[in-house]
A and B are shown apart, each in its own frame.
Chain A
């Protein structure tokens, strides 16, 4: 039914910056877990007489982000006041940027379903976060609200995307690519649950092939990749249904309810658009020197896409492996350290992606933070590659060392877990296997290949995993010739 409609979607992302201090005062920017209203000062409380002073690091992080997103950095930028009343906004205005933001006209490339999509970035600007409000029960039925200003004044970067997305599933992909870029840059921790990364969306529908846009609906309150996609899918359907029925879509703000999986109209504030922006008189404007911008540009780290391509090409990795390894720059650095320490790149990638990553996922830590140093993993990978330890044993050893922090190679040596490749020893075990499993031996000889597995399994069990399984198979085949 909704075939004929096409979505036009743009995302507006707010990212808290990983500075030490707040945007305009010396309070901590990392406020999570602190007792309420214990991370404030006269400035971020908005007490009469106080003045903001700009955090240099926040400006630099925003420029770094803007450059990574291919934005232009104008030579002149300033801050403005956005005026509105809300109890989490101590000054009655938010210091933000209106007509002359720090950066403009960028783009972000991301992949979705094997396609590369390029979406425009309208602007990246800098502002301050508000405090947090707690309600007794539901916001609409509660008789009072409680204000915590620990978060008020935390540096907040707003990344406004062009309405270049055409499918709801592109939204989480765009956001994931953006999130990864921010984390690569070290400017944001990517935590959507705690709200250090937040996303609003604009969605309107148009008939396929038409350039006439429908009314724009802003969707808020989505705090996971899943909820963003679900909310946009819901909105797409809702708007399409309305249009099919010949009805109009109202231009409004709607909130996503994770509980009910629907968007709900948020009572539009009558003065919603009357922010009465004007230049912030308390902050001198910025002149952004070209050589300063170039210095930041030169210091940009390798970005996710570039890193994936390089890993794939220089180490002959599979696409999926490169993606997992490049998930974070720290994990990628771990991988490159393993290779540097002498491991074969493809073996190293297999071990990191399949085994180490699984262990890390189970304990919810990052590869780069685990107790196995890259050199130790490299040694283990080498032992396996040189047939000095069996894959099965190596996996168990890795799991044990992951917990204990011991060196895998030492554990193998001290426990005598080295792989048995001695022909004589193995032939003895093979004899035992054939004797104990005469039926399987006969089956194999009769042409049943699978029967060999039972025989190999017997040898492996008898050797407690240490037997060189490749050699065992070979010896078994020799011992049980088919006519």
Chain B
């Protein structure tokens, strides 16, 4: 159902870094799951509107007011690497 390249592509899109072995196992499981959710095709959804949210809320907004946030130290506290107040990440290639 899933081509190996397709699962590899999904893994890359999601930045999962899966090994070949993991990809192969996942390929089989994904196939099973997608086959099972294929049940959706049988549902009588012809004239039905999609539901993205329940609760029926609209127009929930806040006023444009500044509220104190975090200090620089607090913002960086969980970062694995930072210097001069900036978060350090490996180079973008």
Contacts and interface: CB of A to CB of B under 8 A. Distances in A.
Do A and B share a complex? yes
Interface stretch (B21-29, B32-40, B55-63): B55-63
Contacts of A38: 71-72, 75, 85
Interface in B77-93: 78, 83-93
B1 to A, nearest CB: 20
Residue among A19, A20, A45 with max Cβ neighbours from chain B (10 Å): A45
A21 B91 contact: no
B66 A28 contact: yes
Contacts of B15: 85
Nearest to A84: B13
Residue among B13, B55, B70, B87 with max Cβ neighbours from chain A (10 Å): B87
Contact of B60 (A19, A41, A54, A133): A54
A27 B66 contact: yes
Contacts of B67: 21, 25-27, 41
Contact of A148 (B59, B66, B86): B86
Interface string A135-176: 100011011111111000000000000000000000000000
B62 A55 contact: yes
A346 to B, nearest CB: 42
B59 A287 contact: yes
Given A55-B61, A287-B58, A281 B91 contact: no
B69 to A, nearest CB: 3
Contacts of A238: none
Contacts of A283: 60
Nearest to A54: B61
A56 B70 contact: no
A13 B83 CA distance: 33
Interface residues on B, range: 35 or more
Contacts of B7: none
B64 A286 contact: no
Contacts of A281: 52-53
A193 interface: no
Interface residues of A, number: 53
B16 to A, nearest CB: 11
Interface string A188-219: 00000000000000000000000000000000
B66 A146 contact: no
A468 B65 CA distance: 59
A55 B63 CA distance: 6
Contact of B75 (A21, A26, A40): A40
Main secondary structure of the interface of B (DSSP, over half): loop
B4 to A, nearest CB: 17
A428 to B, nearest CB: 69
Contacts of A44: 69
Interface string B1-21: 000000000001101000000
A298 interface: no
A54 B62 contact: yes
A389 to B, nearest CB: 49
B87 A146 contact: yes
Nearest to B55: A284
A25 B69 contact: yes
Contacts of B78: 47
B59 A37 contact: no
Contacts of A149: 75, 87
Given A20-B65, A286-B59, 13 more contacts: A25-B67, A26-B66, A28-B66, A37-B86, A38-B85, A40-B75, A54-B62, A87-B87, A87-B89, A140-B93, A147-B88, A147-B89, A148-B85
Interface of A: 19-21, 25-28, 35-42, 44-45, 47, 53-59, 78, 85, 87, 133-135, 139-140, 142-149, 270-271, 274, 276, 278-279, 281, 283-287
4 interchain residue pairs of minimum CB distance: A26-B67, A41-B69, A57-B64, A146-B86
10 contacts: A36-B84, A37-B76, A38-B71, A54-B60, A56-B64, A59-B61, A135-B91, A270-B12, A284-B60, A286-B59
